[in-house]
């Protein structure tokens, strides 16, 4: 194969994660050049990499611009054909890169690939951020083969088919360099969370494919930077999901979709309140306020992007999961 590959790990004060996971990335990534892109860390993580892994190349970002800006800044100087955006809390396995390269080789319309992502803490099960490939419903709620909301399935080989998916997880996202720039890179207004859904949505609207391959397997800790108990995560997930809708949903659907999404988000907010998660209740409303304050900018972005009607797999994953009790992807 003549494709060049860059494995790029975004780091922010991640010394402990680099100590634990970087050795295997280096060991099992001989087909690639490994980079650590540092988001202006204040710990000793970069000096650790320089001292122990001289073969790893350091990219020093000037500020902590989050996931989107951090990667945009880091990738700007790279020339490899394939970028693999790898979280610092991911354990890779032998032969994890070659199957990804193979998917790109087989079909030139493929722009992005995701491996099977299992839970590092519970290796028999799929992991929240990606599992066996991502989809969204009509109202922009993301779900995965192997993960519906907080329900994680055991990996019994039920999703060992290589298929086209809607979005690939940012925990381990392989994307062709030329397609990354063609569709406009990661949107830096997101800061963190769901920007991978946005860029995959744009790839879809441009006519490209996103593929899941079970032949590459990684294990993700998840929540190492921002865990699910942090209301900031709730804020970014709700707000950025609205960003995805306003930017990418076709004009004939956007009004009804946004209205019903606001109703569903309101229900979700009061669910947090009944669970005595006051900070998360507030975070949902803060997410909507932030969305409204940026609406003009988002509409300008929307006008520049192509759109397709067939973006969602199911009408409402909320109704199926909470209303009908369907917890597994196979139930759908």
Nearest to 145 by CA among 248, 157, 208: 157
CB 137 within 8 A of CB 310: no
| Domains annotated on the chain, with CATH | 5-220 (3.90.550.10), 231-331 (no CATH)
Band of residue 315 on the pLDDT scale cut at 50, 70, 90: confident
Nearest 10 degrees: CA dihedral of 126, 129, 131, 135?
140
Residues 10-22: what's their mean pLDDT? 98
Query: Dihedral angle at the C-alpha atoms of 83, 190, 197, 10, nearest 10 degrees?
Result: 30
Tell me: the pLDDT tens digits for 129-165?
999 999 999 999 999 999 999 999 999 999 999 999 9
Cβ contact 187:67 at 8 Å? no
- Does the global pTM surpass 0.85? yes
What is the maximum alpha-carbon separation in the chain?
Answer: 56
Q: What is the pLDDT of residues 32-56, one digit of tens each?
A: 999 999 999 999 999 999 999 999 9
Structure tokens at 279: 């900070």
Nearest of 295, 310, 249, 257 to residue 139 by alpha carbon: 257
Among 201, 223, 221, 219, residue whose Cα is nearest residue 210: 201
**Among candidate residues 49, 59, 55, 61, the one with its CA nearest the CA of residue 15:** 49
Q: Are 317 and 144 in contact (CB under 8 A)?
A: no
- 284: pLDDT strictly greater than 60: yes
Pairing state of beta strands 90-92 and 110-119?
unpaired
CB 213 within 8 A of CB 100: yes
pLDDT reported for residue 224: 58
**By three-state DSSP, how is residue 285 classified?**
helix
Instruction: Look at residue 322 in the predicted model and tell me its pLDDT.
Output: 86
Euclidean distance between CA atoms 169 and 217, whole angstroms: 13
Q: How far apart, in whole angstroms, are the C-alpha atoms of residue 229 and residue 297?
A: 30
Tokens 């087989």 identify what position? 106
């Amino acid at each position: 194969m003549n494709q060049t590959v860059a494995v790029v790990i975004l780091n922010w004060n991640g010394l402990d994660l680099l100590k634990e996971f970087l050795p295997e990335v280096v060991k099992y990534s001989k087909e690639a050049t490994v980079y650590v892109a540092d988001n202006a860390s204040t710990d000793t993580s970069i000096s650790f990499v320089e001292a122990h892994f001289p073969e790893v190349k350091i990219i020093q970002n000037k500020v902590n611009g989050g996931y989107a800006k951090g990667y945009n800044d880091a990738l700007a100087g790279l020339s490899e054909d394939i970028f693999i955006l790898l979280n610092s809390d991911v354990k890779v396995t032998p032969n994890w890169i070659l199957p990804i390269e193979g998917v790109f080789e087989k079909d030139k319309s493929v722009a992005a690939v995701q491996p099977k992502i299992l839970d590092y803490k519970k290796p028999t099960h799929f992991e929240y951020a990606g599992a066996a490939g991502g989809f969204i419903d009509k109202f922009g709620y993301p779900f995965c083969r192997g993960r519906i909301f907080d329900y994680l399935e055991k990996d019994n080989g039920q999703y060992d088919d290589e298929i086209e998916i809607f979005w690939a997880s940012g925990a381990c996202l392989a994307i062709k360099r030329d397609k990354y720039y063609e569709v406009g890179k990661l949107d830096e207004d997101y800061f963190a969370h769901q920007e991978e859904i946005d860029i995959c949505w744009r790839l879809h609207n441009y006519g490209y494919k996103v593929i899941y391959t079970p032949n590459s397997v990684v294990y993700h800790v998840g929540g190492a930077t921002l865990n699910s108990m942090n209301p900031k995560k709730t804020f970014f997930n709700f707000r950025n999901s609205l960003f995805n809708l306003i930017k990418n949903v076709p004009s004939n659907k956007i009004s009804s979709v946004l209205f019903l999404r606001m109703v569903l988000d309101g229900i979700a907010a009061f669910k947090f309140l009944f669970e005595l998660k006051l900070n998360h209740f507030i975070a949902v409303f803060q997410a909507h306020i932030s969305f409204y304050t940026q609406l003009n900018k988002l509409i300008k972005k929307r006008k520049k992007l192509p759109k397709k009607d067939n973006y969602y797999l199911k009408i409402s994953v909320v109704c199926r999961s909470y209303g009908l009790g369907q917890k597994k992807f196979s139930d759908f």
